[in-house]
Amino acid sequence: MSSEIIPKKILVVDDEEDIAVHLSNILKGANYEVIYTTKGRDALELVKSFKPNLIILDILIPDMEGSEVASILTQDPATADITIIFLTGVIITKKEESWINKTGKHYLMAKPTTTKELLDKVKEALSR
């Protein structure tokens, strides 16, 4: 029997490609398997094929808001259990904050974040 550890899969979704690449590189350096996209609709397709354990999701994405992506994923039984870290540089509304808190399994982080803060939050989210 193999004792090989399978890396956790993370999907990064950010409309700014340089940020998505930066986050992906940090996560790859911590031995996670990572892919990224800059579009919400692409994220929905990638979730089906990549099957991530965690999604790091910006709230403001040009083709559809991150909250809409999250809502679609949480309503689908095949993807409802995927934890999401909302990483955003904008102030969120009370409605969005309430939804994030109500689910009990999603997290909210403000941009900019440090490498340590990001990796700590990812580790916490994946340990649930």
Residue-wise pLDDT for 75-125, tens only, equals 999 999 999 999 887 666 565 566 565 555 788 888 888 999 999 999 999
Amino acid identity at 87: L
Q: Reply yes or no on whether the pLDDT at 10 is more than 80.
A: yes
- Cβ–Cβ < 8 Å for 115, 101: no
- Cβ–Cβ < 8 Å for 84, 73: yes
Sheet arrangement for strand 54-57: 33-37, 9-13, 54-57, 83-88, 107-110
For the segment 39-67, the average pLDDT, to the nearest whole number, is 93
Distances, alpha carbon 69 to alpha carbons 11, 38, 99, 119, in Å: 13, 12, 13, 23
- Cβ–Cβ < 8 Å for 26, 118: yes
By three-state DSSP, how is residue 88 classified? strand
Task: Tell me the fold of 9-126.
Answer: Rossmann fold (3.40.50)
The structure's pTM equals: 0.88
Mean pLDDT of the chain: 88
Kindly report the backbone phi and psi dihedral angles of residue 34, in degrees, each rounded to the nearest multiple of 5, phi listed first: -135, 140
Handedness of CA 86, 87, 88, 94 (dihedral sign): positive
